[in-house]
Amino acid sequence: MAVKIRLKRMGKIRTPFYRIVVADSRTKRDGRVIEEIGTYNPKTEPSTINVVSERAQYWLSVGAQPTEAVAAILKITGDIGGKNTLKQPEAKTSKEELFNAALKDLHNAPKVEATTAKKKAEKKADKTEEEAAPAAEAEVVAEEAAAEEAPAEAAADAAAAPAAEAEDAS
């Protein structure tokens, strides 16, 4: 009896999940198995591989032939001539830790006015600038008019001053 170590497909459509099994080579892909020695989930990041190494070594020693896919998996786990190069997923922080961190940030954050108040304040500032702009223009016009009148008044004063001095002298 020829024995193979192969993948048995499980899971839903487009979400495959495989069991690494030892089965007779004449059985169907998902048919009767002799023993399940691990699992493989390619949809997780990184892929999840769990193999009972002792059983895999036993079946390889008695002559079971792994398929290409299983041979690649066993090389990654280090069961077939090599090092264990299996990537471990990053440890997830618990929801409680995330909540506590967010709560701490909330309490440490500087207190700021509401956003609606800022918008109203900006609108008021814009209105005062608009009102101030015509007033500033009126001041500039008034200053220019005064500057124009000043030379005329100065000339009149200059002409009147010698006449006044002449009257005082007489």
Q: What is the mean pLDDT of each run of 10 residues along the chain (170 residues)?
A: 88 90 85 87 85 88 90 85 67 82 78 62 68 62 64 58 57
Structure tokens at 148: 């124009």
Centre a 10 Å sphere on the Cβ of residue 50 and count the other Cβ atoms it contains: 13
Instruction: List C-alpha distances in Å: 29 to 9, 59, 91, 153.
Output: 8, 18, 34, 113
pLDDT for position 80: 77
* HSE (side-chain half, CA atoms, 13 Å) at 22: 20
pLDDT for position 22: 92
pLDDT for position 46: 81
Contact criterion met (CB below 8 Å) for 3 and 25: yes
Instruction: Give residue 89's identity as a one-letter amino acid code.
Output: P
